[in-house]
Amino acid sequence: MARTLETLQKQYNSTASAVKLGGGPGRGPMNATNNFKGKPANVGVTIGRIFSYVAKYWKRLILVFLCMLCSTGATLAGGYMLRPIINHIAEAGVPAAERLAYLGRMLAVLAAVYAVGIAGTYLQARMMIGISRTAIQNIRNDLFTRLERLPLRFHDNQTTGELMSRFTNDVDNIGLMMDQSLMSMLSGIINLVGTLVMMVVTNIWLTIITLVFIPIFILSSRFIISKSRKYYSAQQAALGAANGYIEESVAGQKVVKVFNHEEECIEEFGLLNGDLRGKQMKAMFFGGIMGPITGNMAQVSYALTAGIGGALCALGRFDVGGLAIFVNYSRQFARPINEISQQMATIFSALAGAERVFAIMDMEPEADEADLVRPEKLAGHVILDDVSFGYVPEKTVLKHISLYAKPGQKIAFVGSTGAGKTTITNLLNRFYDIDSGRITIDDIDIKRLPRDFLRQNIAMVLQDTHLFTGTVMENIRYGRLDATDEEVVAAAKMASADSFIRRLSDGYQTVIEGDGANLSQGQRQLLNIARAAVSHAPILVLDEATSSVDTRTERHIEEGMDHLMQNRTTFVIAHRLSTVRNADAIMVLENGEIIERGDHDDLLAMKGRYYELYTGKSELT
């Protein structure tokens, strides 16, 4: 059965996912200094943060402003020069030859003035593009940097498509505002002020008539802006939800086809796509009517001004040239307002996108304690002393866990799914911080070890493999970036991966793409094991490391794994109990508690839970 739109929005919509930024299997809340609610909490702050990326290039901005003044000044000056030209041509008794000569000279002057304006426009556009593109580069860098430094708790509850939407749609909308809207609005304001000055100089009474329409412009614009802002924020959220669903569906196509869920996927995407369409229509409608409304009001103002100005000319109270340039200024006065209003759609999208981007930037990254120590070397003596932990406060996952592992020992965890085995290894890496108790390595509380140093000393082989786009050599070297080619090959041999690697098209230089789609699951896991083997970390975590390897391959790598675990403190999580028989100690976990502990023979002699699992009287569930 396909999910309802309301259910899909809760699961994929950026608002829902960000307000409850969860952690781990429990999806617990994560505090943030901002969230993705409907509209920017403070438009002024959001705009200020956007332009803070531009303000650092203030010298170039001054040049842009000067070029803009030059361009606007040339336009206004050229328009005003038409007044004496028209009056001179319309003056009675002036010979035709003199009129033509005067017209030729003035047209040459006009051409020079407008050439200066064109040059100013060209230079301001070139410089502004450079400024805006650099600012967008910095925004993306800051966003990616913060994303990389956020705790695992944040990533547990975010889809790839939703996060990608920040880097593409949201940041692109900010860039579009910087490229177009910023220039248009600043130029429009300068043009508006300059035109108003020229109108006052030309005829104060006609200027007053034109200004009567300004309150109407403002009131109508304020109403449309209030509507548009809400719908553009909703549009961005719906777009993020659709992107998240597409990414998840494409990544899980094999599962979709295995269970014949194509029609359900099409139906669910249709709901999200329809929701996006509806919100886009509302956003684009209110964003699009701003221009026509202000444009039509400008036409009414123009017609009224032209009629009254014509009457003044007929009464001899105004000259024809003055009327000609004033009606031109009147139309020109409305144009900046119209242009500014037309940019509102872009601005609303940019503000909605900026809020989502800055919400991630405002989240607290992983932070180390103040009194840190960085030993030259760790031996790998690990102690968990009365450790309790829960992903959410109301649900404790681990309860009073105490254990130790001496350097070089192999500690195995067995138990039902959800018993807390993987959680223990996550706490060891400080992916999450414990609620109570203490974890030490070589008698040093792990909270006093810098996170980067701690994780450099713990190598992990996870059940879910992940390979990066790059060569096989580069993927194995990911375990230690300064490893030599010889060390990489040695690690591959240790993991029994060397033979299949050499059979690849380019051996160790074969490029892996699509998370290793051209490799079998077992081959991918072998590379994952080789990655851990190349590390010099004194502590090794094997989380279902051989779950994706067939029995024959498992036998091949057992000897290499034993060599890999020599002189390393090793924590093993395995469903295949045959792989943990030679462990120094086996911990049997149920419901977050250690119910049995000892070596293989001790636990069999107890004839408890481990005995039942090993003899097949009971199964891991």
CA 521/CA 287 separation, integer angstroms: 50
Do the Cβ atoms of 371 and 448 come closer than 8 Å? yes
444-445 and 436-441 as β-strands: parallel, antiparallel, unpaired? antiparallel
Residue 18 has pLDDT above 50, yes or no: no
CA 539/CA 382 separation, integer angstroms: 9
Spacing of C-alpha 589 from chain mean position: 39
Q: Which residue has the higher pLDDT, 181 or 125?
A: 125
Q: Which of 154-168, 541-555, 583-597 has the lowest mean pLDDT?
A: 541-555
Q: What average pLDDT score do residues 207-226 get? A: 75
Predicted confidence band at 618 (pLDDT cuts at 50, 70, 90)?
low
pLDDT given at position 587: 93
Q: What average pLDDT score do residues 295-312 get? A: 79
Give the 3-state secondary structure of residue 474. Answer: helix
Residues 6+ apart with CB under 8 A from 474: 468
Q: Which of 13-17, 27-31, 609-613 has the lowest mean pLDDT?
A: 27-31
Q: Which residues of 18-31 are buried (b: 16+ CB within 10 A; e: fewer)?
A: beebbbbebebbbe
Q: Supply 238's token pair.
A: 């719906």
Angle at 185 between CA 338 and CA 173, to 5 degrees: 100
Residue 593 has pLDDT above 80, yes or no: yes
Residue 321 placed within a domain:
yes
Residue 29 has pLDDT above 50, yes or no: no
Residues 6+ apart with CB under 8 A from 71: 117, 118, 120, 121, 124, 187
Give the 3-state secondary structure of residue 81. Answer: coil
Tell me the percentage of the chain whose pLDDT exceeds 90.
19
Q: What average pLDDT score do residues 201-205 get? A: 85
- Count other C-beta atoms under 10 Å from residue 517's C-beta: 9
Q: What average pLDDT score do residues 280-295 get? A: 75
Q: Which residues of 294-310 are buried (b: 16+ CB within 10 A; e: fewer)?
A: beebbeebbebbbebbe
Residue 469 placed within a domain:
no
Q: What average pLDDT score do residues 132-151 get? A: 90
Q: Which of 98-107, 365-374, 409-418 has the highest mean pLDDT?
A: 409-418
pLDDT given at position 34: 36
pLDDT given at position 254: 65
Give the 3-state secondary structure of residue 543. Answer: strand
Q: Which of 113-117, 305-309, 360-364 has the lowest mean pLDDT?
A: 305-309
Residue 22 has pLDDT above 50, yes or no: no
What are the pLDDT digits (tens) for 48-89?
Answer: 888 889 888 888 889 988 998 898 888 888 888 888 888 877
Q: Which residue has the higher pLDDT, 247 or 474?
A: 474
Residue 393 placed within a domain:
no
What's the CATH code of the domain at 106?
1.20.1560.10
Predicted confidence band at 406 (pLDDT cuts at 50, 70, 90)?
very high
Predicted confidence band at 551 (pLDDT cuts at 50, 70, 90)?
low
Predicted confidence band at 427 (pLDDT cuts at 50, 70, 90)?
very high
pLDDT given at position 386: 95
Residue 197 placed within a domain:
yes
Side by side, which strands form the sheet with 382-389? 398-405, 382-389, 436-441, 444-445
Choose among 307, 358, 353, 302: nearest CA to 330.
Answer: 302
Q: Which of 79-83, 175-179, 412-416, 556-560 has the lowest mean pLDDT?
A: 556-560
Q: What average pLDDT score do residues 542-571 get? A: 72
Residues spanned by the domain of 156: 5-24+43-361
Residue 506 placed within a domain:
no
Q: What average pLDDT score do residues 156-161 get? A: 74
CA 299/CA 116 separation, integer angstroms: 30
DSSP state of 395: B
pLDDT given at position 545: 65
pLDDT given at position 549: 61
pLDDT given at position 523: 84
Q: Which residue has the higher pLDDT, 577 or 357?
A: 357
pLDDT given at position 2: 64
Q: What average pLDDT score do residues 413-425 get? A: 87
CA 215/CA 314 separation, integer angstroms: 30
CA 470/CA 472 separation, integer angstroms: 7
- Count other C-beta atoms under 10 Å from residue 131's C-beta: 21
Q: Which residue has the higher pLDDT, 575 or 279?
A: 279
**Average pLDDT in the chain:** 81
Q: Supply 199's token pair.
A: 């109108």
Residue 38 has pLDDT above 50, yes or no: no
Spacing of C-alpha 400 from chain mean position: 38
Residue 214 placed within a domain:
yes
Residue 134 has pLDDT above 60, yes or no: yes
Q: What average pLDDT score do residues 39-52 get? A: 77
Q: Which residue has the higher pLDDT, 42 or 504?
A: 504
Give the 3-state secondary structure of residue 388. Answer: strand
Residue 19 placed within a domain:
yes
Predicted confidence band at 547 (pLDDT cuts at 50, 70, 90)?
low
pLDDT given at position 554: 67
CA 381/CA 407 separation, integer angstroms: 5
539-543 and 569-573 as β-strands: parallel, antiparallel, unpaired? parallel
Give the 3-state secondary structure of residue 367. Answer: coil
Report how far apart, in Å, the C-alpha atoms of 174 and of each of 14, 178, 276 are: 18, 6, 20
Residue 31 placed within a domain:
no
Q: What average pLDDT score do residues 475-501 get? A: 89
Q: What average pLDDT score do residues 300-310 get? A: 81
CA 572/CA 543 separation, integer angstroms: 6
Do the Cβ atoms of 396 and 419 come closer than 8 Å? no
Do the Cβ atoms of 171 and 143 come closer than 8 Å? yes
Residue 353 has pLDDT above 50, yes or no: yes
The domain tally of the chain equals: 1
Q: What average pLDDT score do residues 273-294 get? A: 79
Give the 3-state secondary structure of residue 382. Answer: strand
Q: What average pLDDT score do residues 179-183 get? A: 76
Helix intervals (H) in 315-420: 320-342, 344-361
- Count other C-beta atoms under 10 Å from residue 260's C-beta: 8
Spacing of C-alpha 179 from chain mean position: 20
What are the pLDDT digits (tens) for 242-277?
Answer: 877 887 787 777 677 766 778 888 888 888 888 888
Q: Which residue has the higher pLDDT, 137 or 561?
A: 137
Residues 6+ apart with CB under 8 A from 413: 421, 424, 571, 572, 573, 586, 587, 589
